[in-house]
Amino acid sequence: MSKSCYVEHCNKEVSSFCTTCEINKYMCTDHVGQHIIQAKSHQIEALFLSLSPIKLECFRSKMSLYISYISKVKSNLCNATETLHNLIESQHAKVLVKLEDLESKINSIINSSESGKICETELFDMISNVKIPEEAVIFKNIKGLNEEINIFYNQELFKNLSSENSIFLFSDSRRLVGIDLITLKSKVISEKKKIAAWPQCCKINDRTFFFNGGWGSEAVGCTDIFYIDENRFEPKPESYLRWGGACVNHKDKIYIFGGSPACSGQSDLSNYLDLETNQWNDICKLPKASYANTATVLDGQILITGMLLSGVYVYENDAYTQIVNINDEANKIIFERWVITGKSFYEKRSDESKEWVEIPTAYGWKGNYLYTSLIVRRDNYVYMMDNSNELQRFDIEKKKIKKIPLLPVS
């Protein structure tokens, strides 16, 4: 007797089962990904024995195609990298030849002058005939190389890889727009659902994002999970009407702290969505009502700060403990072990230390609140969209923040 998928109203034939759940959950191919996202550490095993010989052969054929594609991508990457390396060496050699030729001519004139074999007028003529190439001429080949590199990094080969390094902004028409942080190009990702401004937003994983609430003509409470590869929104139960709340993913639960329930005012209400049960649960209220809040997970703990909170708080065991004191009227953004304000930068020195050090800065950031609570780190840079819809980049090493110009939305 064939089994059906455990997901309600799905009668498709199962292809896998989870051995971690107390009762083995059988699922169809369409819902394997959903279960993996909601239960990250669970072990999934394929039901090869339940497949008919025809389906089994089809499965093996698809896997063979995937493996072939991966091998091709690896080969293309190696070949392209070798081509770039050869181009760099070639252009370097050409520029070097020009400079060495110029150096040889000048040395020849110097030697002739020092030997006294030629008169002053001849020496002057020799100097006049030496043409020092303009910088544009020397670097002409380098410009060509830059074009080659640009073509290389925009090949189809990197289409999916670069989208992992994205941050979201929202256009006036409330389309979901993303910025590729490698090329700084803006692109409409989806028009399937109108996303309100200033939503609560966080990553579930590199390819899946959580959206809640925001501000349209009024505060909204709709909730969705967005699967970027499938360009698909999965509706979830609605929550409180609000925008500008802190949003963070921790242990398969999406926590939201505070926010604003209307065009003005703020809230201390906090809750979380359990990704396994799809239920919202209330938790302890914030110490003070606040909006333009952000949150992060550091050393296994949730840290929260915001516009009207008097610093940074740890949320643990359904209670809040203040760990950093900061002017409560300053807008504050927290990410990993850093807090950014309009005047200062705070850094937690190490995992062992509980000390947060204030570093005054002069980077001139206005301290705007964020358009979306999604913050992305790439190497030594932290990227965020502020409420003027401008991309700000914070340099962790230099402790400087800079506005990054963006290319038009395509």
Q: Domain spans of the chain?
A: 1-50, 72-156, 163-404
Confidence band, pLDDT 50/70/90 cuts, at residue 377: confident
Q: What is the pLDDT of residues 236-262, one digit of tens each?
A: 999 989 988 999 999 999 999 999 987
Q: What is the pLDDT of residues 178-228, one digit of tens each?
A: 777 766 777 777 777 777 778 899 989 878 889 998 887 566 788 999 988
pLDDT score for 363 = 59
Confidence band, pLDDT 50/70/90 cuts, at residue 169: low
Q: What is the pLDDT of residues 381-399, one digit of tens each?
A: 888 887 777 788 888 888 8
pLDDT score for 313 = 96
Q: What is the pLDDT of residues 73-99, one digit of tens each?
A: 667 667 766 776 776 677 667 767 777
pLDDT score for 65 = 67
Contact (CB, 8 A) for 200 and 213: yes
The DSSP string of 367-398 is -PPBSSS--EEETTEEEEEBTTS-EEEEETTT
Statement: residue 14 has pLDDT above 70: yes
- Structure tokens given for 3: 């089994």
Nearest-5° Cα angle at 307, 304 to 309: 55
- Cα–Cα distance for residue pair 129/121, rounded to 1 Å: 13
Q: Which residue has better confidence, 231 or 151?
A: 231
Mean pLDDT over all residues of the chain? 76
Statement: residue 143 has pLDDT above 50: yes
Statement: residue 126 has pLDDT above 80: no
The DSSP string of 50-65 is GS-HHHHHHHHHHHHH
Q: Which amino acid belongs to residue 19?
A: T
Q: What is the pLDDT of residues 294-306, one digit of tens each?
A: 999 998 999 999 9
pLDDT score for 192 = 74
Statement: residue 105 has pLDDT above 90: no
Neighbours of 272 (CB within 10 A): 22
Q: In terms of Cα–Cα distance, which of 360, 363, 408, 368 is closest to 384?
A: 368
Compute the average pLDDT of residues 32-53: 62
- Cα–Cα distance for residue pair 222/195, rounded to 1 Å: 10
Q: Which residue has the tokens 């964020």?
A: 370
Contact (CB, 8 A) for 95 and 141: yes
Statement: residue 165 has pLDDT above 70: no
Q: In terms of Cα–Cα distance, which of 252, 280, 235, 196 is closest to 38?
A: 252
Separation of CA 258 from chain center? 24
Q: For residue 263, report the phi and psi dihedrals to the nearest 5 degrees.
A: -70, -15
- Structure tokens given for 292: 């333009």
Q: What is the dihedral of CA 264, 265, 271, 276, to 10 degrees?
A: 0
Compute the average pLDDT of residues 160-176: 54
pLDDT score for 162 = 36
- Cα–Cα distance for residue pair 267/262, rounded to 1 Å: 10
pLDDT score for 145 = 54
Q: What is the pLDDT of residues 304-342, one digit of tens each?
A: 999 889 999 999 999 999 999 987 677 888 998 999 887
How is domain 163-404 classified at the CATH fold level?
Neuraminidase (2.120.10)
- Cα–Cα distance for residue pair 259/267, rounded to 1 Å: 5
3-state SS record for 190-229:
ECCCCCCECCEEEEEECCEEEEEEEECCCEEEEEEEEECC
Statement: residue 265 has pLDDT above 80: yes
pLDDT score for 251 = 92
Q: Which residue has better confidence, 57 or 31?
A: 31
pLDDT score for 156 = 40
- Structure tokens given for 270: 């906090």
pLDDT score for 163 = 38
Per the DSSP assignment, residues forming a β-bridge with 235 are: 224
